[in-house]
Chains A and B, each alone.
Chain A
Amino acid sequence: MARLVDITVPDAVRVRACAGDEDARRVIYAAVAPATFTLIRRMIAQRSAAEDVFQDTMMILFERLTEFRHEAPLGAWLRQIAISRCLMHLRSPWRRVRLALEAEALDELPAGAAQVTAPLPPETIDIERALGSLAPTARAVLWMYEVEGYSHAEIAQAFGRSISFSKSQLARAHLRLRAWFEPQGHRPTCTLT
């Protein structure tokens, strides 16, 4: 599957889509939806929330398609929309309340019940699980920096925070992930965040 940032759409199709042509919109959707959804799923672990953000992102794409300025591939523009919507979701008060409630529920569990020891042997490191063990913000920062190629300044701007925020989140994510690469005996437990 092509990376979202590299996906382009023929101009003729885009113009027809801007004019409301259903078939052209279907073509664009088919071209960008899988990569968009994958990106959103990497940023937001919960599938139902990821679907909401995906729907929102795709609706914005078609509503604002006339604003696309051809400065980059359509996929790059859509990636910006998707990431900003993901960050909006991560910052939303509803989500924060939910996290607080989950933390409270976690506190009520018996000691050790909230921890799951990683069962995977070192030779089959499950990077997916390692990624899933990160806190949502750290995961988003890690993905933006390592995979999408954002700089610390760009990440800081997107989050509305300082550059040191981005650096510290990335360092924390690296530290956490590095632990997964260590031998089994040294591997920490995976704590729900």
Chain B
Amino acid sequence: MHTDLEPGQSLARLLRGLAPDSAHPYGWDEFRRRAQPRPTLAAHLASGRALAATVVIAVAACALAIRVGGLARHPHAAPGSVHYGVARQEPARPPAEETAAERYLASLPRDPAVVHVGTRAAVETLEDDIAQVDDMVSAARAGSSTPPARLQALLDERTQLVSSLVQVRYAESLAYASR
């Protein structure tokens, strides 16, 4: 904390002398009310969304199964013998380090009560980027025309992002533990 008495001292006195905010905060009951999740409209919307999502996933799964099944059939195979071979080269699974990194991230405590804005902004940016890459990976896996190299590049990018996130969260947890 600074202790120097500068020319700004009078300004500090003026600022400290400001009256408390005239509009008081709401009371305990209102705080409790705002802290509660709203079950009415939100619940209806959530159940509606869940139903819609289930239907969409089911339709997409059926369409995908039909498409992949149709493509995988060998054109010259004998009638009745259907080969559900690999339609395209599947990229490698996530490396063991990435799995370990994700386990480590899951084991970390939740955000500290007091956060450093710069660190938190970096964490949130990385988490957003990972979510974005996840979406792209899902889209790439669902699409039959995605080249395997493209999918592999996305998975590599994801691995790098997760690694960066581990480093930032690790530094954050060290800083928090040392306080």
Contact = CB atoms under 8 A, between A and B. Distances in A.
A36 B31 CA distance: 14
A149 B28 CA distance: 29
Contacts of A35: 20
Contacts of B2: 145, 149-152
Contact of A37 (B25, B35, B119): B25
Contacts of B34: 55
Interface string B77-120: 00000000000000000000000000000000000011111111
A147 interface: yes
Interface in A19-36: 25-26, 29-30, 33-36
Nearest to B115: A84
Interface in A50-70: 51, 54-55, 58-61, 64, 67
A154 B24 contact: no
A55 B15 contact: no
Given A146-B8, A150-B2, A174-B11, A87 B117 contact: yes
Interface stretch (A97-105, A111-119, A157-165, A183-191): A157-165
B15 A146 contact: yes
B41 interface: no
Contact of B16 (A36, A67, A84, A147): A147
B113 A60 contact: yes
A9 interface: no
A141 to B, nearest CB: 12
A146 B119 contact: no
A168 to B, nearest CB: 15
Given A29-B31, A150-B1, A160 B117 contact: yes
Contacts of B42: none
Nearest to B3: A149
Interface residues of B, number: 28
B117 A81 contact: no
A128 interface: yes
Interface string B1-45: 110000010011011101011011110100100110000000000
A141 B31 CA distance: 28
Contacts of B20: 1, 34-35, 38
B65 interface: no
Nearest to A61: B113
Contact of A127 (B8, B18, B113, B118): B18
Given A81-B113, A150-B1, 5 more contacts: A42-B21, A81-B114, A84-B114, A159-B117, A160-B118
Interface of B: 1-2, 8, 11-12, 14-16, 18, 20-21, 23-26, 28, 31, 34-35, 113-121
22 contacts: A1-B20, A34-B20, A36-B25, A38-B21, A41-B23, A47-B23, A51-B25, A55-B35, A59-B35, A64-B113, A80-B114, A84-B115, A91-B121, A127-B14, A143-B15, A146-B15, A149-B2, A150-B2, A158-B117, A160-B117, A160-B119, A174-B8
